[in-house]
Amino acid sequence: MTASRDKREGKRGSANASTHQAFEIARERIEPGTSRELDLPVARLPTRTSVDLPLVVRHGTRPGPCVWISSCVHGDELNGIEIIRQVLAATAKLDLAGTLLAVPVVNVFGFIHQSRYLPDRRDLNRSFPGSPRGSLASRMAHLFLTEIVARCSHGIDLHTGSNDRANLPQIRADLDDPETLRCAEAFGAPVMMSAKLRDGSLRAAATKRGIPVLLYEAGEALRFDDDSIAMGTAGVLRVLHSLGMLESAPEQPASATRLVEKASWVRARRSGLARLSTKLGDRVAKDDVLGILADPFGSTVGRLRAPFDGVVLGLLNNPVVNRGDAVINVGQLD
């Protein structure tokens, strides 16, 4: 049975309440103009301790879209938790249209262990659509898809870089879809990229259901990055505004979102210590030296060069690299 912690905000817009129905999820009814915190049961630990999926449902006073915002599908990617907190704070007293489902920690097991993966080393973002009788990852994916995604018209999934890598704030999505493109432009990240769907990913499972999804990548794992969080919070609020859920939102950035045609990782041709001379967001030209590879005494053993004109999308923060390691991600701009 679903446990719930009531945090009702008091009904607003009572004139609309009679025509705007209650929102139902996990056998709970959330009345118009109220907010509720729920815990969706996931599993039990060997100690019999219950593990739950935390969820905030903010049901508006007026009809509108239903949007989910999720974070920590990879348990060590933390920026999204703070983005969701700030989005909820910004919408706490507003006259919301539609319904907002906020899930700050999807991969609860990975979050507890500060790990990208589940205890059996499965990647939750390669386990969708899942199954109620499969592995732990498969069961969690099925729960999220049936209880959250299936109720929504749009989704925003928040991520960071992984494996010691940091990402420039960016949107990855199916930009060939007009509605997804419209939402991506409203988000206002520095760059956006039309990314292929990966089998087993949350985005692929939602897209197959006809649900537009934005994937926001920014910052690095196990860190709060203030700039990435600020951009992400403003972007989510702008998307909600573009969907008619909010009456106002932060202004668009002075620089319009740029489209990345393709991206390529610059890989180390020799092992060594990477000394980078570029940073996230830098514009680069083909064959520019973006850093060197050196031995422990400082002697240069190789150079890292831009494969084409573009912008730096991602960097490896760990200076110790082996031959073949991906070090710098460069995106080619439209």
**Res 113: pLDDT:** 95
Cα distances from 44 to residues 53, 84, 118, 122, 133, in angstroms, run 12, 26, 14, 18, 15
| 8 A C-beta contact, residue 321 and residue 274 | yes
**Res 94: pLDDT:** 77
Output phi, psi for 112, to 5 deg. -60, -40
| 8 A C-beta contact, residue 39 and residue 5 | yes
Helix (H, G, I), strand (E, B) or coil at 89: helix
258-333: CATH number: 2.40.50.100
| 8 A C-beta contact, residue 332 and residue 302 | no
Average pLDDT per block of 10 residues along the chain, 334 residues long: 42 40 94 96 92 96 96 98 97 91 98 95 97 96 98 98 96 97 98 95 97 98 98 98 96 94 96 98 98 97 97 98 98 92
Question: 10 Å Cβ neighbour count for 196?
Answer: 7
Helix axes 226-242, 79-90, angle to 10 degrees: 50
DSSP 8-state secondary structure symbol assigned to residue 306: -
**Res 168: pLDDT:** 98
Helix (H, G, I), strand (E, B) or coil at 84: helix
Angstrom distance (rounded) from CA 229 to CA 284: 25
| 8 A C-beta contact, residue 104 and residue 78 | no
CB contact burial 123-146 (16+ within 10 A = b; e otherwise): bbbebbbbeeeeebbbbbbbbbbe
**Res 13: pLDDT:** 33
| 8 A C-beta contact, residue 239 and residue 186 | yes
**Res 10: pLDDT:** 36
Render pLDDT for 165-175 as a digit per residue (tens, 0 to 9). 999 999 999 99
Q: Decide: pTM greater than 0.85.
A: yes
CA 108 to chain CA centroid, Å, is 15
Intervals of CATH 3.40.630.10 along the chain? 3-242
CA nearest neighbour of 201 among 146, 123, 103:
123
One-letter amino acid for residue 29 of the chain: R
What are the strands, taking DSSP E only, across the chain?
3-6, 23-25, 28-30, 34-44, 50-59, 62-71, 97-103, 154-159, 165-173, 191-194, 213-219, 258-267, 272-276, 283-284, 289-294, 300-305, 310-316, 320-321, 326-333
Cα distances from 78 to residues 119, 191, 219, 226, 319, in angstroms, run 18, 21, 9, 12, 22
3-242: CATH number: 3.40.630.10
Structure tokens at 30: 């959330």
**Res 198: pLDDT:** 94
Cα distances from 163 to residues 67, 79, 216, 219, in angstroms, run 30, 15, 17, 12
| 8 A C-beta contact, residue 48 and residue 84 | no
Intervals of CATH 2.40.50.100 along the chain? 258-333
